[in-house]
Amino acid sequence: MQVSDESSEYQFITYSKNPEKKSATITLNRPEVMNALNLEMRKEILSALDVAEKDDSVRALVLTGAGDKAFSAGADIKMFQTMTPFTAREYLKTSKGSSNRIENFPKPVIAVVNGHAIGGGLELAMSCDIMVASSNAMFGQTEINVGLIPGVGGTQRLSRRIGIHRAKELIYTGELIDAAEALRLGIVNHVFPTRDEMMHFVDSLVDKISSKSPLILRLAKDSVNCSAAGLKEGLDYESVLFEFCFSTNDQKEGARAFLEKQGKPVFTGS
């Protein structure tokens, strides 16, 4: 399996491609501080997302953390000691920018959580399309423990995932939950007893996603994301995108391959 490392320009993340899997991986790379998120890391994430979006050979993206202790333990609290309301606004512009960019990224993004995903780390993971975790993972919106509320989407994305009342309990108490409870609540899609089993599943999932039409995947993601706007708006937008599918070559190729039963369709993204 050939993996190419393209991380020379980054200090706080690594970016690598797997041409065989048609995927790329962004790894939060500050294991000495449990991959705590500073502004520079957020900017590097945005830069790597730009690279992955422009690369047509990348059809799926994986976001993970270096080491086994943490996906990310959240924001680097050192930043908050001198932060004012005015600098907080600038901080949120970049921080929410990276999370929103992932949520609306035109290719599927899979969060692979190994260890803690708390505070801003959980917010970042929840901006991904699918989240898988190892059994040692821990989750929580712990901002209230340092005199804050979740500010990078936690009050919104968590309640949409698990319901408003359960979200309130986690946010109000700042308590951590384990991977089994996160699975039960619906924060994560899958939990695996070992890292090897988790990565085997991720490889299989990437294979399945990468075999689909990149154009139709983009439309599907866009339509599902629109569901948060309200049922009527979401249904109307879904109809527009469904109709658009019939103007694409990939739709014709998918129908042809199914009807002729002569192998898998060859999707070109057009």
d(CA 50, CA 82): 31
CA angle (75, 18, 66) in 5-degree steps: 25
Options 32, 40, 44, 123, the catalytic residue: 123
Bridging pattern class, strands 23-28 and 13-18: antiparallel
Instruction: Identify whether 44 is a catalytic site residue.
Output: no
Q: Look up residue 36 and give its two tokens.
A: 């705590």
Instruction: Identify whether 253 is a catalytic site residue.
Output: no
d(CA 204, CA 210): 10
Options 44, 143, 233, 243, the catalytic residue: 143
Residues acting as catalytic residues: 123, 143
